[in-house]
Structures are given as C-alpha cells and as structure tokens.
Structure 1
Amino acid sequence: MRQLLIACLLMLPNLVLAAGGHQVHLDKADYDLTDQASLQRGARMFMNYCLGCHQMQYQRYVRSADDLGIPHDLMEENLIFTGAKIGDHIRNAMPAEQAANWFGKVPPDLTLVARVRGPDWIYTYLRSFYVDETRPWGVNNEVFKDVGMPHVLQELQGVPRKVYETRLVDGEEKQVYAGIKADGTGELSEEEYDKAVLDLVNFLVYTGEPMRLEAESIGWKVLVFLAIFFVIAYFLKKEYWRDVH
C-alpha cells in the first residue's frame, strides 16, 4: 500500500501536465463587498461593456439596485439598455445562434463566474489581453490561451502588447519576456484601469453570492450563540452528574 501511494504521488506532476495548459501566476484581487461605491461602479462597467455578449440571467435588475443602493429610476435610465423592466432578469438581446456563429460558441452566463473561476482569475484575465494578429479578434490572453473574446475594455486600457527586455542570461544578452503593457492610448492610466477591473470583479463576486455579507453576519451570531450555549450546557452537565461523581 505504501509503494502504491508513493507511485501515485510521483504521477501527479504528469497528470497536471496532461491536463493541458501552462500555469500563469494569478494576481490577488483585493475586492471589498462592503464598498458600495465600488459595487455601483462595477455594475456600470458590466452593463456597459459585458452585457452586450454575456448575460446574468439568474440575477434581477431590481435585486442589484436594492442591494447596491441604486435608486430604481436611475437604474432604469442609466443601466437598462434592452427595454427590460426593473423586475426582469439581466439578459441581453443577442440571439444565441448568431452569437455562436460570431464567437464560435454562445458567450457564457456570468452570474456565477466568480464562484466558478475565482476573483483572482477574473482580475488577472481582464488585465492579460495582448495583441496577436493571428487571432480572429486580433488579441490573445495569457490566462486563457486562444480566447474567442475580443478585448472589450481596450478603449479604457489602450492597446496592450507583450514587452521584452534585453537581459544578460548565462553570459549572453537575450530578449526576455517582461510582461504586458498598454501603449497609453486608453482613457485610463494603468492604475485607474486596474481599479476599474477590480470594481467589475467586486460586482461579479457580489452577484455570485448576493447573500454573502448577510450570511457571514448571521454566522458570527450563530458562533456567539453556540459559545454561550456551550457554557450553559457545561454547567448543566456538571449539575446533573454532581451526585454520580
């Protein structure tokens, strides 16, 4: 049995490689579900840049408005572009068949993407597009190789390209990959773009679990109750067993 376990452990690296793809370092997404302003900006980002292709068909406009402190009239005037009503689910007007023809497959629903992919993955992904003329949309992505999605945030970030630096390697000067950098033509600076992406990630995390903050609050209350009940139960047990001991 011991030899079998050792053999299985030795096979793990091969299984990882067989799973395909190179592992890319994921940057930490320091989102904050208590930052209502960030959540509102993230909702605006999603409605303006993501909803054209992706849906949130398990979330309603009214739920987002109420949870994020957005008045219903402002939500209807500024964040609903499909003619939907405030109580409707967040869906777009793109026909599924045409979407499949344009992108190779229907763009996925993003209601639960933060729970499936993780906030760090989304944060890194949206900051990892780069120019690749061999791809249909002219871009590729470090995190999602051969992605079928255009860089919809390019007007904010600018044109991102892979950057190489000349470094001394083993006594020889070589061109070494140094990351991805935008050309400065975007509407936002690098720091502003990262913040905007973080706002969008914050909104996606909220949408994946709208009750999270309330659940965490209830969880602490339950733990306090159990701690108090444990003390009461302990002394009650001592009282019941006093004569036995």
Structure 2
Amino acid sequence: MISMSEDKPSIPLEAEKLETGVHEIDNIFKGGIPYPSSILLLGVVGSGKTEIFLKLSRYRLEKGDSVIFVCTNNLPENYRSMMKAKGFDPKPFEERNSLIFIDSYAKKFGLESKEKYSTSMIPYDISIEILKAIDEAKGNKKIIIIHNLTNILDICGVKEGLMLLRSLVAKTREAKATLLLSLNPQAFPPDVLALAQEAVDGTIELKVGEKIKYRGGGGVKNFHHPHI
C-alpha cells in the first residue's frame, strides 16, 4: 500500500457522503465518496475512467449539484456527444452554469477553443480557470473532474504537474468541493505514481475485468466490477 503523507489531513469518518451513481464505487465508500475530498482514479486506457466520470456527472447534475469538467485529453464537444449517446442532454445544465466544461485540449494543438471556459496547459492558467469556474458554478455541491492528470504531467513536466496537483487539492478543499482526477499508471514510473497518490485523500484503482481497489486511510478495499 502507498502510505499517505503524514502532514496531509485524512478524510474525517463523519464526512458527508456523495453518491456517484456508480454502485461499485458507492459500495466502496459505504454510501458514496466523501464530500469534500480529493480522489485519484488510476487506470489504463479502457479501464472505465471516462464512463465513471460521465455517469457521476449525470447523476450529480440531476441531484442539483454542479460539475466542472476539465478536459485535457479530448474536446468538450466530444464529451457532450458521449453524454447525448447515453440519453443525457447536457445543454440545459450548461445554460444555467451547473455544468461547466473547461477546454484545456484545443490550445495544445494550436486551435482556438469554442468554449466559454478554456485554458492552456500552463499550471497557473489551469488553476486560475478552475477557481473562476468554482466561483461561477451553480449548484448545491461542487465536483471538479480533471480528465486527465496524465496529460498535465506529461506536458507541464512531473515537478510542475505535481505542484499543481497539490495546489488544487488544497484550493478545492478550501472551497469545500470534491476533486476527482484520472491518471494512467503506465505513463509514469512508480515513484511518480506514489507522489501523485500521496497528494490526494485516496486512490481508486481500476483494472479491466478485475476488482476495484481503493487505497486510503482505511487500507485497501476490493470490490468486483465486471463492467462499468
């Protein structure tokens, strides 16, 4: 098990639970992920990270919460199409600012973003745009999704990317929001993965056809998810 850093506060046992709509994950946390908290989804391509984020977004939006979806590996329009393919129309939620897409993908290829919220991959720019979105998002609770952290670490460099991660964990905790991030474990050596996991409250490990593993203050818990 990856140990947690001693100076990082753990999630209190009495923390409020936030149902995700993904039964396997809600079972791990006995009713939902802690709110507020910071959780890393660790999994290779095809392990279900995108599907989890889309399900969680729909579920929480329909409960009256706000979702800030930071796109670093795809255009927001493609995520809208995925949502619509699942029978969910994101447009009404975007119109009232309960769903905010932040485009951190287009500028990477020198394209002009069509989004209201967009940023480069520079850590400072990402942080400023996320804080702006947190302030402007409309909803009972606020969930920030960064899909994915892999590209940030790859483009910004590990040192700068991890500094951004630690900063966002602190700032979202201060804002009483939950932060969810995804990371491909095949992209970096074990020491980098360990540092990323130490920066957050807990890690959900996803492997195709295997059990979900959660690493946090309570140790490792296994729950089978044949298909998410």
**Same fold per TM (> 0.5)?**
no
The structure with the largest helix share of the pair is 1
The structure with the largest strand share of the pair is 2
